[in-house]
Chains A and B, each alone.
Chain A
């Protein structure tokens, strides 16, 4: 149910930094629909592989993902991903520079 992830990249700063560990909880598409639109999720992107992003919006069976940091990709670059691409919701961050944080 829970899975350990390691963040690569800095597009989710300041929430997530490069090298941070994230504990994510498995989530199904039905539960994704009930998420706040600002939840951080791990997704298996059809083109870019496993990514971690914040949900910017949910429209039917598609989810729009966005970055927190100014260096991140624009959500339009990812396009709308199918809702079943969302695999986990980030719940806890273990920061590389120290400290824990719930998300």
Chain B
């Protein structure tokens, strides 16, 4: 009751003090999530290639397919985790005011990340990667760092956002 009273009458007088929940090293970088989203696409490519050229030994087939599925799911989850960290810990009110679409973009990444994790649609995985590109552009813009788009120098070679340092 007292808390509610203060919250109602005097909250604007309070100074926010952080009790950090993560190690405040202040190091944030969307590189991890972009590598992870590229990996999701690559794993689907490997699954399709494997299905098109089944090895003679079924054990090899099942082993490689299982590993690709596991990695696809793991890296889709890494995408969601890394985006959550930047969104939740790094982005603050001034950035959200400057980039009002950030919340919706993050939500779309969560939804598309889940689709890519659950399914085998390459289109979904590519869409996830493009959303991650947009997220990376916003992130670097908040840092005042210019970005460039270039093909990733490894398979699947999709266009990827890099800081133009």
Give the B-binding residues of A (Cβ under 8 A).
3-12, 16, 18, 20-22, 42, 47-53, 67, 69, 71-74, 77-78, 94-96, 98, 100
CB distance from B48 to the nearest CB of A (A): 41
Additional A-B contact list (10), CB under 8 Å, known A5-B16, A74-B23, A98-B3: A4-B6, A6-B15, A10-B21, A16-B19, A22-B17, A42-B17, A51-B18, A67-B20, A77-B25, A98-B1
Partner pick for A72 among B2, B17, B19, B26, CB 8 A cutoff:
B19
Cβ of A49 and Cβ of B18 under 8 Å apart?
Answer: yes
Residues of B within 8 A of A (CB): 1-3, 6-7, 10-11, 13-26
Residue numbers in B under 8 Å from A7 (CB-CB): 17, 19
Residues of A within 8 A of B16 (CB): 5-6, 8, 50
Provide the bound-state CA to CA distance between A72 and B23, in Å. 7
Q: Which of B7, B18, B21, B25 is A50 in contact with, Cβ under 8 Å?
A: B18
